[in-house]
Structure formats: C-alpha cells, structure tokens
C-alpha cells in the first residue's frame, strides 16, 4: 500500500535522507548514518609535533548528508596538517562538497589566506556557523556551488584556485558527470586537486571512467595511507590532461 502525501511529508521531516538510503541493486545510495544528529557541537583535534590544529565543528544532519563530518574529510584534513603551513600559505583554495566545511577550515587554520568552502544552498548556514565558531571569517568564505552549473564569481574571489579539495563526493551516480564538469571548469593542467574518495558501490567505477577522459591521477604519499586503505579510502592527486 502506498503512503499518502501527508504521511510521506511527515516521514521526510523525521528523516530527510530516507530516499537516498533506500537500497537499489548496488546497495544504498548513501551509506547509513545516524539521523539523530541535530545541532551538536564537537571539537576535533589534529595532532602534529609543530602545529596542532583544533576545530570547533557544528554538525547537524538536518540539511543533508553533508551536515556531519565524513571519514574521507577527516583523512584529507589530517593530510593537510601533515603537509603543514608551508603547503597552503601562499595558495588560494576551493573545496567542493564541503558539507560542514571541515577540510577548508583546517586549511585556513594552517594559514591559507583565501579559502572558499562550497556546497549546495542548504549547507550554507552550517558552513557559515563553522567559519564564525573558528574565527575564520577573514580567510574563509562559504559559497553556493552546485556541480555542473556555472562557477560563481563574487568580486573577492579567485576564479582559478591553486588547490581544489574534495572529500567523499562520489556516491550518487546522477552527479558524476556534474562533478567532473565542475572539476574541469575550475582547473587547468597546473591546478593541484586533492581528491579523497571512499569506495562504497560498484557504480563508483563509472565516475572514474568519466574522470579519466579529462584527468590523470595517482595516490599521494601519505604516512597514514595504510591505515585508511583498510577503510577503502584513497587520497588521490588529480591533474587535468592537456588538450591534444
Ligand atoms: C558525503 S558528503 C561529504 C561532506 C564533506 N566533504 C565531508 O567529507 O565531511 C557529500 C557532500 O557533497 C555535496 N553535494 C552532493 N551533490 C552535490 C552537487 N550536485 N553540488 C554540490 N554539492 C553537492 C553534499 O551536499 C555533501 O555536502
């Protein structure tokens, strides 16, 4: 028996991600996650002998799956801390699918003067909250950027970032060509792209088939690699191919 509209709306309110978590032949579209996280505050510490980074992070699953911190985002954050301030200090950085903004905030805490954290409109509130919680409004800007749509160009922004960051952005097949399009729109063959990926579904292969047409990649050298490989996470450095 199908649910009527009012019941559907009630269920959506109680569990906004339920449609994405229904399984198809290849498993659930997004992984199971606790949907009871509402407006919580956590403190994440990334240890390092010379530059410990501490981030206060508001998390809230209400606006969508990006409202909580995902393991690939933590892996990418730890990698930035390992690379240290000199890696980010003279770069402009744009993060795609930032969710809470964690990775971009870590880059700013390390001293990057110009970071855009970007995502879809429902995530802008939590990204802005996290910018303010960490006193980073001088260096970090939250911007709406929907993959596959034209890149926004507010006045104070670098349209071609030196470094693009993306963590856990491969999970929903209809967005695969859109994400590749946006990576391509934002980059040249000299742009660095750090792409942290968690393998979940066989269908993810289709993303890499599309990506291969425009980009090459290799695993980055990271002393922690053996740890996160066990969780099916890879940290890739992407380069845009030169046009023939
Ligand atoms: C699994 S979450 C990862 C969030 C964050 N990077 C992390 O590691 O914690 C995927 C993110 O991609 C964003 N996203 C999904 N589709 C998108 C699209 N078409 N345009 C822009 N962002 C999108 C979601 O809103 C979400 O924040």
DSSP letter for 221, please: P
- Residue ranges per structural domain of the chain: 40-240
- Strand duo 140-144 + 163-167: pairing: unpaired
Position 9 scores a pLDDT of 60
Among 70, 80, 83, smallest CA distance to 31 is for 70
Tokens of 49: 């002998």
Give the whole-angstrom CA distance, residue 192 versus residue 88.
11
Tokens of 17: 């991600």
- Decide yes or no: CATH 3.40.50.150 for domain 40-240: yes
223, 70 Cβ separation under 8 angstroms: no
**Residue of minimum CA distance from atom 15 in ligand 1:** 97
Q: How far is the CA of 96 from the centre of ligand 1 (A)?
A: 7
Position 153 scores a pLDDT of 78
**CA angle, 133 then 139 then 145, to 5°:** 90
78, 196 Cβ separation under 8 angstroms: no
Kindly give the number of the ligand 1 atom that is closest to the alpha carbon of 76.
8
- Angle, helices 102-109 vs 124-133, to 10°: value is 30
- pLDDT tens for the 244 residues of the chain, in order: 345 666 666 665 555 555 555 555 565 555 555 557 788 899 999 998 998 999 999 998 888 788 889 999 999 999 999 999 999 999 999 999 999 999 999 999 999 999 999 999 999 999 999 999 999 999 999 999 999 999 987 666 656 899 999 999 999 999 999 999 999 999 999 999 999 999 988 889 999 999 999 999 999 999 999 999 999 999 999 999 987 6
CA atoms within 13 A on the CB side of 165: 31
pTM of this structure: 0.87
From 68, 72, 99, 174, give the residue whose CB has the most ligand 1 atoms within 8 Å, as the site to mutate: 99
Ligand 1, residues at Cβ distance < 6 Å: 64-66, 69-70, 72-73, 97-99, 102, 119-120, 123, 146-147, 167-169, 175, 178
């Amino acid at each position: 028996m199908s649910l009527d509209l009012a019941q559907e709306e009630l269920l959506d309110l109680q569990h906004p991600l339920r449609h994405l978590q229904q399984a198809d032949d290849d498993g659930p579209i997004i992984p199971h996650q606790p949907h009871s996280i509402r407006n919580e505050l956590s403190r994440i510490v990334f240890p390092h002998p010379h530059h410990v980074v501490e981030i206060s992070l508001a998390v809230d699953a209400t606006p969508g799956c990006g409202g909580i911190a995902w393991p690939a985002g933590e892996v990418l954050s730890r990698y930035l801390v390992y690379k240290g301030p000199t890696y980010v200090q003279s770069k402009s950085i744009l993060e795609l699918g930032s969710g809470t903004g964690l990775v971009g905030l870590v880059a700013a805490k390390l001293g990057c003067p110009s970071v855009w954290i970007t995502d879809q409109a429902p995530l802008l509130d939590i990204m802005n909250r996290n910018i303010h919680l960490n006193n980073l409004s001088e260096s970090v800007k939250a911007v709406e950027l929907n993959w596959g749509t034209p890149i926004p160009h507010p006045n104070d922004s670098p349209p071609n970032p030196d470094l693009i960051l993306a963590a856990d952005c491969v999970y929903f097949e209809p967005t695969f060509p859109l994400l590749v399009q946006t990576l391509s729109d934002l980059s040249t063959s000299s742009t660095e792209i750090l792409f942290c990926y968690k393998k979940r579904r066989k269908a993810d292969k289709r993303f890499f088939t599309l990506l291969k047409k425009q980009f090459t990649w290799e695993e980055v050298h990271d002393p922690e690699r053996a740890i996160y490989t066990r969780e099916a996470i890879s940290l890739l450095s992407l380069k845009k191919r030169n046009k023939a």
